[in-house]
Structure 1
Amino acid sequence: MRRVIVLLAVLCVCDGVKFGQLCSGNSNNRRRTSDTWGEGRYGARRGNRDHKGLDIVCSDGSTVLAPFDVTLEGGLTVYSDPNKAAINRGINLRGEGLCFKLFYVRPDRTSGSVRKGQRIGTMLPMQEVYPGITSHVHVQMCDRTDPTPYFN
């Protein structure tokens, strides 16, 4: 009887992928730390739930950029609460083997391709809804896993 051994290697297309600059004025993707509204790290407590994204500092009205070559896959609604209408937009994106969402962004368009560093949209007025918060773009992976490893 002859045995055949099969070795299977799984390689993630996303290994080594790092997000480029997301927001004008924040070239190194500085993260939101702790403020009166909470923490911006993945897994931080939000009342009875965990924060399922990573918050990247972005001033209200700033230009939001493509972190690498991406395909725009439609807009999204962040909240069902009408009191948060001012920041209730975002966009679904895919690129470098990753599927992710950016919250609190008014997209310039919601389909097509955008090259790394090109404008995707505008940061919405977070201070209108959460006065005193560190304004930020929320980055959430489509599968809700931790996006932190993709940032320097």
Structure 2
Amino acid sequence: MQAVVFLISAVLAAVISSSAGYQFGPLCCSNPTNAIRGSDIFGEGRFGASRGSRKHGGVDIKCEDGSKVYAPLDMTITRQSIPYRYGTKTAINNGIAFTAEGMRFKLWYIRPTKFSGTVRKGDLIGTMLSMQSVYSGITSHVHLEKDPKTDPMHVINTQDTAANRAFCSSRD
């Protein structure tokens, strides 16, 4: 049964990837395959993971504190987006909202290079803020949220991991 589920998942991922017409690039070269944060003392990074009385509305893509953050697609940055209300957790309370491929996203826990304008896939868009200064022991990550809050993995799964690794190798 597991083999059948795996095969169906692989076929669907291939169909989605080939029909999308775009490939999601690496957000951080410390994680060129955009691996999602697993379980740690603060929870899980997958879409829909429990957050007490609510569900996680995005995915947490592992990224080392201080890493350069790159545009994963050709995109238009539309505004600043902050994850926490009332100035809490100021060390990581920054990010952007952007559109790409007809979809809307938020990307949090970065110090953006700008809050508006168009950028090309692979352009530097910011620096990863220090998650450890706020959540000591968490797996550091950027939070990617699709608007409306639906699982963004179908977008991330369009990536070409070999191309992403090559992109990051050229930046070392």
Inter-partner Cα distance in structure 2 for 1:27 and 1:18 = 13
Q: Sequence identity, in percent?
A: 53
Could you list the per-position Cα deviations for residues 4-51 of structure 1 after superposition, in whole angstroms to 9, with x for gaps in the alignment? Answer: xxxxxxxxxx84544211112211111101001000000000010000
Q: Find out whether 1:121 has 2:118 as its counterpart.
A: no
| Equivalent in the alignment of 2:146 | 141
Contact 1:54 1:147 in 2 (8 A): yes
| Equivalent in the alignment of 1:56 | 61
Which of these two proteins has the greater Rg computed from alpha carbons? 1
Structure 2 alignment gaps of length 5 or more: 1-18, 158-172
Structure 1 stretches of at least 4 aligned residues deviating more than 3 Å after TM superposition: 14-18
How many residue pairs get matched? 139
| Equivalent in the alignment of 2:3 | none
Inter-partner Cα distance in structure 1 for 2:37 and 2:71 = 19
More helix by share: 2
Inter-partner Cα distance in structure 2 for 1:118 and 1:83 = 29
Inter-partner Cα distance in structure 1 for 2:53 and 2:22 = 32
- What are the equivalent positions in structure 2 for 1:19-58 lying under 5 Å apart? 19-58=24-63
Contact 1:68 1:116 in 2 (8 A): yes
Q: Find out whether 1:97 has 2:96 as its counterpart.
A: no
For residue 106 of structure 1, the aligned residue among 104, 107, 111 is 111
Structure 1 alignment gaps of length 5 or more: 1-13
More strand by share: 1
**TM-score after normalising by structure 2:** 0.77
